[in-house]
Amino acid sequence: MAQRYVRVQTLDGKIFYGLLQIDRRVQVLDAPPWMKGQLTDRVIDAESYQALAPCAPSKIVAVGKNYANHAAEMGTPVPQEPLLFLKPPTTVIAMEAEVVYPSESQQVDYEGELALVIGDRCSHCTPEEAHSKIWGYTIANDVTARDLQRKDGQWTRAKGFDTFCPLGPWVVREINPGARLQTFLNDQPVQSAAISEMVFPPDVLVSYISRVMTLLPGDVVLTGTPAGVGAIGVGDRVRIEIEGIGYLENSVIARTVAPQESQT
Domain coordinates in residue numbering, the chain: 5-51, 60-254
Between CA 167 and CA 114 the distance in angstroms is 10
Query: Which tens digit of pLDDT belongs to each residue from 105-132?
Result: 999 999 999 999 999 999 999 999 999 9
- Is it the case that residue 204 has pLDDT exceeding 50? yes
Burial class (CB in 10 A: 0-12, 13-18, 19+), 118: buried
CA distances from 112 to 18, 74, 191, 211 (A): 25, 16, 8, 26
Rounded CA separation 41/71 (Å): 49
> What is the distance between the alpha carbons of residues 130 and 200, in angstroms, rounded to a whole number?
13
Check residue 76 and give its pLDDT: 83
Q: What pLDDT is stored for residue 31 in this prediction?
A: 98
Mean pLDDT (the chain) is: 96
User: Given a cut of 60, is residue 43 above it in pLDDT?
Assistant: yes
pTM to 2 decimal places: 0.95
Residue 33 has pLDDT above 60, yes or no: yes
Query: What are the pLDDT digits (tens) for 52-81?
Result: 999 999 999 999 999 988 888 878 888 899
- What is the CATH architecture assignment of 60-254? Alpha-Beta Complex (3.90)
pLDDT of residue 74: 79
For 148-182, the pLDDT digits (tens) are: 999 999 999 999 999 999 999 999 999 999 999 99
